[in-house]
């Protein structure tokens, strides 16, 4: 059963690229005592993710922060090197944290994975957005079609924040 509003995020560890190399970032450390927006893309550099989903969060980042969001982070089943390159290529570096779930452990624990093997992608994350407060999901929207951005954009979170 997929994660739902009111649920606590599962224990998982993301990989992030830093100036020191690849480091672990446990979900609990990311979210403890903080209001975080997490959004997931099926893949870095893929058309909808690159042209519509990530740019929407970059455009509305100041509004999200003004409403009390401590951090906006993007989850993808890509390696941390790819996500670092994507952040640099899109202007997200230093603005939106890129969280590598390279093995899909986190998205499987959420119940939000899909099998993209027919397209040569393997297991990937569905496209979604959630507002998390101190590790608890306060708002969640999941796209039915991974090629669309209809409910998984920043507008969903801004509405939830009032």
DSSP string of 47-81? HHIIIIIHHHHHHHHHHHHHTT--EEEEEESS-HH
In the sheet that holds 97-100, the strands lie side by side as 21-26, 13-18, 97-100, 71-76, 35-41, 128-133, 136-142
Structure tokens at 21: 């190399």
Quote the domain boundaries for residue 85.
Answer: 13-161
> For residue 152, what is the DSSP state?
S
Per the domain annotation, does 3 fall within a domain?
no
Separation CA 83–CA 49 (nearest Å): 12
Per the domain annotation, does 96 fall within a domain?
yes
Which comes out higher in pLDDT, residue 114 or 24? 24
| pLDDT value at residue 117 | 79
Percent of the chain topping pLDDT 90? 90
> For residue 147, what is the DSSP state?
T
List pLDDT tens digits, range 7-55. Answer: 999 999 999 999 999 999 999 999 999 999 999 999 999 999 999 999 9
115: β partners: 123
| pLDDT value at residue 121 | 76
Separation CA 28–CA 21 (nearest Å): 21
The pLDDT of 150-155, averaged and rounded, is 96
Per the structure, the count of domains in the chain is 1
Per the domain annotation, does 135 fall within a domain?
yes
Distances, alpha carbon 35 to alpha carbons 6, 68, 154, in Å: 14, 7, 14
pTM across the whole model: 0.96
Q: Which of 9, 49, 54, 72 is catalytic?
A: 49
Per the domain annotation, does 30 fall within a domain?
yes
- Following CA atoms 54, 58, 59, 64 in sequence, which dihedral angle do they give, to the nearest 10 degrees? 110
- The answer on pLDDT for 132 being more than 80 is yes
Structure tokens at 27: 């979900």
Check: CB of residue 87 under 8 Å from CB of residue 96: yes
Looking up residue 101, the CATH number of its domain turns out to be 3.40.30.10
Per the domain annotation, does 32 fall within a domain?
yes
Is 74 a residue of the active site? Answer: no
Per the domain annotation, does 5 fall within a domain?
no
Per the domain annotation, does 47 fall within a domain?
yes
Per the domain annotation, does 77 fall within a domain?
yes
């Amino acid at each position: 059963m997929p994660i739902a509003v009111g649920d606590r995020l599962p224990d998982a560890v993301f990989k992030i690229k830093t100036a020191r190399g690849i480091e672990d970032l446990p979900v609990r450390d990311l979210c403890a005592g903080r209001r975080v927006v997490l959004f997931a893309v099926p893949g870095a550099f893929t058309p909808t993710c690159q042209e519509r989903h990530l740019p929407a969060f970059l455009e509305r980042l100041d509004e999200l922060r003004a409403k009390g969001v401590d951090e906006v982070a993007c989850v993808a089943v890509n390696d941390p090197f790819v996500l670092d390159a994507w952040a640099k290529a899109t202007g997200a570096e230093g603005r939106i944290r890129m969280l590598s779930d390279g093995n899909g452990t986190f998205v499987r624990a959420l119940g939000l994975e899909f099998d993209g093997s027919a397209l040569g992608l393997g297991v990937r994350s569905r496209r979604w957005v959630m507002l998390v407060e101190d590790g608890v999901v306060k708002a969640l929207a999941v796209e039915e079609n991974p090629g669309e951005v209809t409910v998984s954009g920043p507008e969903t979170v801004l509405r939830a924040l009032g």
